[in-house]
Structure 1
């Protein structure tokens, strides 16, 4: 009986799935931490603090691993993803979540995976198999159910909805820009320098960060550091590792597991007991992810994309 790791292609697939799972769990935990940090820090200051903590962590890892600079051919994708995803997205999302309730924000931001699929098909030539489309439809229905069931707990505004929509567009654009760069740079390089680009973009908020840190409670600052080290440094690296080994569309569909996990984490950590429709929506999100990541027997024998060059990819994300 063959061990699952005995076949190189199967081993790569399992490692990528594991990396994607780590990303989803940590990104879900970020919503709980933002609840605390966001009460003491303004959107730009929180984004800068998070990015600085992430950049310092990633920079230290790069020095230990002697990663070096990314190839020149990868810089365009890294820079675009750094501006759109690490910089603009984080500021606009923080801002938007202060204008609308959590349910509305989750509903609007979950347009992102659909945009990734459309942009991936148009710009990267990603395939759109029926299972992926069906899974994304089920997951989006689940995200809408979760969003509607959680909406109404706070004020909503057209401006806030627009901010969340801009965040979704920036997220999709950043993912599609990062994908080609990962064929030339390692996951750690793409994440580290993307994070640095985002931090530089947010430097105008340095004054706010310093003044707000002086008055912020320790718990809020610790949550900001947590956001930088785990949901940013670690999770964005495991995301890049998995993205290099599959299509942008399938990775985008995987993030539909985040709303379901947020429901569970809010229940456990914050004591927010979910209602029936919230639970149903979470189950739909997970079911859709399972469908979108499944493949027929014929498709399972062929990888989604060519293997990245081993010398450019770290052994572990």
Structure 2
């Protein structure tokens, strides 16, 4: 639900903040929130064995992914971006099957296929019909691939460190990667409307700090492939949120696409 809401907040905030500044502001807000919780809980630095996965996920998923997604959504319409970013769960399934030795269970592959078709249908019907630049398509594909690699890299790290540790230090590393955009963030924060800044803070506290931590908690308790498939709930939730919050009444094809996403997730979770 929080990741679905992030697409709505990004669409609003990116009008006032550049892609890099928005990513840095979001990561700083997330790092402050997570750091405070880490101190209250009395958790320390992760053990050395967890750091390779934390660094890879921090650089790719928290850093590169967020900048590429923000930038890509400026270059292509929201529907096209949603279709391309939903390559991510397929990347997770392939990498976890080969690298983490999770295999390729038939229910997972069937569920991924059904959900991906649903995501494509949702994206197509929600597309504004505008032109999509080659740069925008490349950025969205880059976001999907870095998201997939970063998510898989977290799995071995979670065998050595807690979900809170992995998320906190991954977020901090992502913020360090985005530090070159600090000047833009300072300049734009002075001119951005309050609503855009509040959206930036919301993105950091909830879709980043809370959602990434609960993701890591779940990832420690299931396979990366199956958990990646559950993110196909996001397109269906985006449709419902746009309907409830923005008054964007979905057509029958959009609803059918959302239903396919839900059905595919259900299939993927079967034993």
Please classify the TM superposition score into its range, dividing by the shorter chain length.
Answer: over 0.9
Question: Matches of 2:268 and 2:260 in 1, distance apart?
Answer: 12
Q: How many Å apart are 1:153 and its aligned residue?
A: 4.0
Question: Matches of 1:36 and 1:152 in 2, distance apart?
Answer: 16
Unaligned runs of 5+ in 2: none
Offset from partner CA, 1:117-173 (integer Å, 9 cap, x none): 001111110122111111111100100101111123433111101100000000011
SS in 2 for 1:128: coil
Question: Matches of 1:220 and 1:152 in 2, distance apart?
Answer: 23
Q: Which moved more, 1:229-238 or 1:266-275?
A: 266-275
TM normalised by structure 2 equals: 0.99
Match of 2:133 in 1: 157
Match of 2:90 among 106, 114, 138: 114
Match of 2:6 among 13, 24, 30: 30
Match of 2:42 in 1: 66
Match of 2:156 in 1: 180
Match of 1:12 in 2: none
Question: Matches of 2:84 and 2:234 in 1, distance apart?
Answer: 14
Q: Which moved more, 1:170-179 or 1:265-274?
A: 265-274
Question: Matches of 2:254 and 2:191 in 1, distance apart?
Answer: 36
Match of 2:258 in 1: 282
Alignment of 1:156-305 (within 5 A): 156-295=132-271
Structure ID, larger Rg:
1
Question: Matches of 2:242 and 2:270 in 1, distance apart?
Answer: 28
Question: Matches of 1:142 and 1:34 in 2, distance apart?
Answer: 23
Question: Matches of 2:208 and 2:144 in 1, distance apart?
Answer: 17
Match of 1:298 in 2: none
Cα-Cα RMSD: 0.8
Report runs of 4+ in structure 1 exceeding 4 Å deviation: none
Unaligned runs of 5+ in 1: 1-24, 296-317
Match of 1:91 in 2: 67
